[in-house]
Amino acid sequence: MPRYALKIEYDGTPFAGWQRQADRHSVQEAVEMALKKLEADAPGIGAAGRTDAGVHATGQVAHCDLKKDWDPFRLSEALNFHLKPDPVAILAAAQVPEDFHARFSANERRYLFRVVNRRAPLVLERHRAWQVLNPLDADRMRAAAAELVGHHDFTTFRSSICQAASPVKTLDEISIEEVPIPHGVEFRFRLRARSFLHNQVRSIVGTLERAGAGSWAPEDVRAALEARDRAACGPVAPPHGLYLTAVGYPSDPFA
């Protein structure tokens, strides 16, 4: 059976997350239902990351096995037709080797977290960013973020229900871009690592927001990391500001 990689964009607002669930609609279910319109016995799919409810993606990657030898462009067009009206789009499809696995073949994941700092309520971006009313200091957040880059035990910054075998991860990058917007500013947090723990990005951004607000010093973030205790973490940022933007592989299947 030919194997295909799919690059997927979705608005996570109406979904219970990526992973199929018995009683709630998920992104995985939406894509699998579209695949079954093409081949009724199409098996389930695997994805690079199991995003939570409300989390968005502009570069999720999944793989699927199909009986027919599909032209990748026609496959993406057919899936997009059957995905309507769900807010999910197949950006690209590519035939890949049979040992390609969207999750286990990946060697990098990139996330974006958007924080909008303004007083007026969000309207157009209501489910697309986390609104923070009080002013934030970008330099304080960058100094605090520097304490987290590198190879660490991230127990403090992972969910209590995280199923990863080890809390030790290497965080390759945290950058914070400050972008002026009408009547406010948007902070764009970009994080890059081979893999992340459950809720790690949201836990980190929520803690860095406290540093930006002046409630935490950069040394407090270092102390929280070294505590290796979930109770030492700052607040967890809400899911709707988070985007899975890219998944890296030794050889880009969509090149």
User: Which amino acids are annotated catalytic?
Assistant: 52
- CB-CB contact of 22 with 28 (8 Å): no
Q: How far is CA 18 from CA 38, 51, 131, 207, 214, in A?
A: 21, 5, 24, 25, 35
Rounded Cα distance between 137 and 141, Å, is 7
Beta-carbon contacts of 14 under 8 Å, excluding residues fewer than 6 positions away, are: 25, 86, 87
- Write phi, then psi, for 166 (nearest 5 degrees): -140, 145
Instruction: For residue 151, give the H/E element and its range.
Output: strand 150-153
Task: At 94, give phi and psi (nearest 5°).
Answer: -155, 140
Backbone angles phi and psi of 136, in degrees to 5: -120, 145
Q: Which of 174, 171, 228, 159 is closest to 195 using CA atoms? A: 171
Tell me the C-alpha distance between 77 and 90, whole Å. 8
89 class by beta-carbon count within 10 Å (0-12 exposed, 13-18 middle, 19+ buried): middle
Distance separating alpha carbons of residues 14 and 25, to the nearest angstrom: 8
